[in-house]
Chains A and B, each alone.
Chain A
Amino acid sequence: MRRLKSNIDTQSAEFRSYEHHFLKLMAEFNERQRQARYDRPERDLKRLRSQNKLLVRERIDLLLDPGTPFLELSTLGANMAYNGTVPSAGVVSGVGIVSGREIMVMASDSSIKGGAWYPLTVKKMVRTLDIAIENHLPMVHLVDAAGAFLPLQSDIFPDKYMGGRIFRNQCILSAMGVQQVALVLGHSTAGGAYVPTLCDYSIMVRGTGGVFLGGPPLVKAATGETVSADELGGADVHSSVSGTADYAVDSEKEGLALVREIVGTFPQKTKAAVERREPEEPYYDSKELYGIIPDDVKKQFDIREVIARIVDGSRFHEFKPDYGTTVVCGFAFLYGWKVGIIGNNGVLFSDSAQKCTQFMQLCNRDRIPIIFLQNITGFMVGKSYEHGGITKDGAKMLMVQANLDVPKLTIMTNGSFGAGNYAMCGRAYDARFLFAWPNSQISVMGMEQAAKTLTQIRLKALERKGKTLSEEARQQIFEDIAQDYLEKSSAYYSTSELWDDGIIDPADTRKVLGISLSISLNTEFNETPDGVLRI
């Protein structure tokens, strides 16, 4: 396979200025991530310390094999919701190595509102369990949650993908033969009581751990019975009387060590049979990506420069290089695994969409996972393109992409607008993992266009009411709309709403994709029928 030749001059003024711009974005990203992980009110930290509880990240540190990577998901979930008071959506989830096995960890953060479930907490938990289902990942639940955040219960409880889905997913996992262990570190009340109880193994910490359908206050109110939490559903009651849990331990440390011991008995996964060879570091430095991504989402860059900084040896076999040149398709190796890569180099035309479709079919037939590198403003518009069947060709791309059997991984590198987002395996298309770079933007159309349209609608409505506006007021309306639109298009808003699995440092893209790919090979690929193409 040939090595890509970079056309980037790292000494050029343009590179320097882009790099300067991106390093500022990185500083902001790192700071936001640090805050989400570590900044907590002193009062909550004191409370936990007085209860002899460890912080969620201390627990995870004790759980994971030392010196192994932890791929944390959606660290900035809920960062723009609830006035920023529920960092990481109140739950830490991610994939790490426990006793030599890839494990999905889901741990409530009781330093935030006692670990209460907000709507986005539930969304993140359901997504975490979905990932475990799709990738046959055994789970460790560190349970320490106060229960649903009552003022928002209607957004937490009733719908298909809300609270009930957590337990439903646990049941599905069990039937699939995917093991689950729970360590109960706090009171699990009502629905939350089912999380440990539906696991194959449940460990409870004496004193702090508790499992009950109704806690002592509810029991008192309902039946008049006075009972302490420990008597009602403490570690010893459940492990020796009711059988609701399997082990009682004296401390969190003991519990975490026991989890490691139990996980160590799980059968090792055999990976799907995908061609593999000796991994090789990329020839080009991944940190150069900071100087490659332009300072404006409108400016185009060559996606091959990104590929060269992700794949083994920067080697890439490009498929159909002279056809449909606004998209780049080709094969590469990532940590020794063969992958297909599809990256945007401009607007999608009929020929580029056809090339993608053909390439995806090749990958699917030869069982090669596909990585999508999104930088897409959409499909080309205009009379000659419609007459040429652009919509039909886009539909073909969607049809094949949606029905692929091979795992898909998506990275949002820059812009993701309109139907291009769908064709390039956006969130709705079941990428096993979808990560975004901090600069990336996502919306149904670009900001300027959308803001102009929205302003016109607003002005017309006001005119109908007989209001006349000064030029200044009109401008103000446009700016307000533009500001709001831009904010809602940002990677931070996107990740806040859990439209992705997290924002990542572009320089880590190779590692993140490597871990994601390894996880997605936990199971042989399905063989599903193909859809009908409008040829």
Chain B
Amino acid sequence: MQRRIDLLDKHYNVTVTGRPDNQQLQVETGERLTAALISTKNGENIIKLGEQSASVELAVKGEMAYIHAFGRTFMLSIVDPVEQASQNTGGKKNTARAPMPGIVVEIDINKKDRVTKGQPMMTIESMKILTVITAPRDGEVAQIHFKPGDTFSKNDVLITLTKSRKEKKQEE
């Protein structure tokens, strides 16, 4: 079982092997050490790694784990592995397209506005339903292709965002 742990701005690939009662922990390609987390009856948690051991306090709330050890507190957010992996891939859309034919009712943004993913940009009406078109990713509005009252067909590009820095770099 391999996990990526981000601690104090650094990434570590951590491999856990062995049986539940005798687990081995390996950080990156380092030495494999016996590791254990022991909860005592009085609520104390002792973490053991190789020959060393330390008392820690920990609490998990929602997607955050709070760990107090070695005289300081660490906050670890638990990131879903699918999400973590998907962040590494590029190819985010630059355009918001029409999900169905319709008419533009309202535009909430202007050219050159900064938008964040999920931000409402335009309201359209189709089949008697008002649908809000949101930003597909963070970015800057490059072009708004229709104005209120205009009709459009399915898949027409409604709004284009400027290319992301990463894409620009790749082109260079």
Contact = CB atoms under 8 A, between A and B. Distances in A.
Contacts of B110: none
- Which 3 residue pairs across A and B have the least CB separation, nearest first? A347-B127, A300-B131, A2-B80
Interface string A284-305: 0000000000001011100000
Interface in B92-135: 99-101, 118, 125-132
Interface of B: 62-63, 80, 82-83, 99-101, 118, 125-132, 154
A167 B129 CA distance: 46
Given A326-B100, A349-B100, A381 B127 contact: yes
A331 B1 CA distance: 25
10 contacts: A2-B83, A296-B130, A298-B125, A298-B129, A347-B127, A349-B100, A377-B129, A380-B127, A381-B127, A446-B128
Contacts of B99: 325-326, 346
Contacts of B128: 298, 377, 446, 448-449
A346 B130 CA distance: 9
Question: SS class of chain B's interface: helix, strand, loop or mixed?
Answer: loop
A378 B125 CA distance: 14
Contact of B62 (A283, A380, A449): A283
A89 B11 CA distance: 65
A3 interface: yes
B63 A380 contact: no
A281 B101 CA distance: 40
Contacts of B132: 300
Interface in A358-389: 377-378, 380-382, 384
A7 interface: yes
A448 B82 CA distance: 45
Nearest to B132: A300
B100 A380 contact: yes
Nearest to A352: B99
Contacts, number: 43
B130 A299 contact: yes
By CB atoms of chain B within 10 A, which of A299, A300, A349 has the most?
A300
Interface string A1-15: 011000100000000
A378 B127 contact: yes
Nearest to B82: A2
A346 B80 contact: no
A7 B134 CA distance: 11
A378 B100 CA distance: 13
B129 A346 contact: yes
Contacts of A449: 128
A446 B125 CA distance: 14
A3 B129 contact: no
Nearest to A420: B127
Nearest to A348: B127
A382 B101 contact: yes
A21 to B, nearest CB: 16
A344 to B, nearest CB: 10
A247 B62 CA distance: 56
A381 B128 CA distance: 12
Contact of B130 (A298, A378, A448): A298
A415 B131 CA distance: 14
B127 A377 contact: yes
By CB atoms of chain B within 10 A, which of A326, A347, A449 has the most?
A347
Contacts of B83: 2
Interface in A74-116: none
By CB atoms of chain A within 10 A, which of B82, B100, B127, B131 has the most?
B127
B38 to A, nearest CB: 23
A254 to B, nearest CB: 51
A446 B126 CA distance: 13
A283 B131 CA distance: 26
Contacts of B118: 7
Contacts of B62: 283
Nearest to A382: B101
Contacts of A325: 99
Contacts of B131: 300, 346
Contacts of B154: 384
A347 B100 contact: yes
A296 B80 CA distance: 36
A298 B126 CA distance: 10
Contacts of A283: 62
A382 B126 CA distance: 12
B62 to A, nearest CB: 6
